[in-house]
Amino acid sequence: MTEQAYKPQPNDDEIDLVELFQSLWEQKLLIVLVALIFAAAAASYALLSKPVYEASAVVLPPSISDIAGLNLGRTGTVNGGLEPFLVSDVYAVFIQNLESDKSRRKFFTEYYLPSLDEIQRAGSRDSIYKAFNNKFIVKAMDKNQPARYLITIEDYKPDLASFLVRQYIDQVGKRSLDDMLHNSEREFVIKAQNIERQIKSERNSAKIRKDDREKQLNEALIVADAIGLDNPPVVNTELSAFMDGSLMYMRGSKSLRAELEVLRARTSNDPFIPELRDYEAKYQLFTDVNVDREKVSVFRLDGEISVPDQAIKPKKALIIALGVFLGAMLGVLVAIIRMRLAKHSTRVG
């Protein structure tokens, strides 16, 4: 067997690169035509698609002056009052409401749905809500600044997108302030109730002490009258120390009767309760707190919420470039298929 017998035979299915490039060059008009068709289709889609605009806002924690109104009457636990709110306490409530599904659904029902036309509202409520969630984003901007939150909404109308962002932030801010005021008012009410009970207890104790004093004076007066002691005798210092006890009668009937008449004529024990005025001042403090909502804020806006003037979708240049690329690739594939079919027909013929 000769060396010629072992020489590998060419495979008709293999494609020579030179031949491939020559064939593609010969069919360049086809490739360009397919690319132009795809480019035209992509351009039509890009130009005819409704532009989508994105409005955004960034929120920050409130300043100390923003929450000063919430700390009216909160003097600290050292004085028996309430601990003042910190900026972090107030902002945590705002962020919790900002991210809550309850706030999102309330906003969806009260603002987003009414902004749609009848055709857009005709679909399933769940489907509409899912689409709404896809274009409504609330997130922390980055790990280094977790307190900065970004709120974005996409819509076909730029002014509507801006309006919706503003309404959502305002709605969450109002709800958060309501929560803070409600919690604060409940704390004040509980404090006031406790102080009111203390005042009542002190007044009851004062009445009991007054009644006890009258009974002591009555008994001492009986003794003084029985022994005919009108005026107190001259006593030394050591003996006078016991004249409010079992020797109270030694004061004499005139002194005892005078004090007894004064006690019986007393209409109020309040002036004789040492801590009563302090309790009343604290009670007044906790019941007279009135927060001006207009002077309190639970967040700050970083900049303004402006109406977007440039659409984010569709990205026309990218879509057209992608159409040209895909068209060119398809044109090359069609050219290769034609070349293979032509080669196969030649071999069969």
CATH says 50-321 is which class?
A: alpha beta
Q: Which of 4-8, 21-25, 77-81, 341-345 shows the lowest per-residue confidence on average (mean pLDDT)?
A: 4-8
Question: What proportion of the chain, given as a percentage, has pLDDT over 70?
Answer: 90
Gap between the Cα atoms of 240 and 222, Å rounded: 19
Domain positions in the chain are 20-49, 50-321
The verdict on pTM exceeding 0.75 is: no
Place of tokens 């005892």: 256
Task: Spell out a b/e string for 171-198, using b for 16 or more CB atoms within 10 Å of the CB, else e.
Answer: bbbebbbebbeeebeebbeebbeebeeb
* Residue range 87-104: mean pLDDT, rounded: 95
Residue scoring higher pLDDT (27 or 238): 27
Q: What is the DSSP string of 121-142?
A: HTS-HHHHHHHHHHTEEEEEEE
Q: Give the pLDDT score at 212.
A: 94
What are the tens digits of pLDDT across the range 161-184?
999 999 999 999 999 999 999 999
Q: What is the mean pLDDT of residues 39-50?
A: 76
pLDDT at residue 235 in the model: 57
DSSP codes, 42-64: HHHHHHHSPPBEEEEEEEEPPPT
Residue 243 has pLDDT above 60, yes or no: no
Shortest CA distance to 111 belongs to which of 176, 50, 170, 174?
170
pLDDT band at residue 106, thresholds of 50, 70 and 90? very high
Which of 46, 38, 40, 44 shows the shortest CA–CA distance to 313? 46
Cα–Cα dist 118/128, whole Å: 12
> In this predicted structure, what is the pLDDT of residue 6?
47
Whether residue 298 contacts residue 147, with contact meaning beta carbons closer than 8 Å, is answered with no
Residue 50 has pLDDT above 60, yes or no: yes
The alpha-carbon radius of gyration of the chain (Å, integer) is 45
Please give the residue that has the higher pLDDT: either 6 or 26: 26
Secondary structure of the chain: what % helix, strand, coil (to 5)? 65, 10, 25
Distance CA 119, CA 49 (A): 18
Give yes or no for residue 8 having a pLDDT over 90.
no
pLDDT at 1: 44
pLDDT of 105 > 50? The answer is: yes
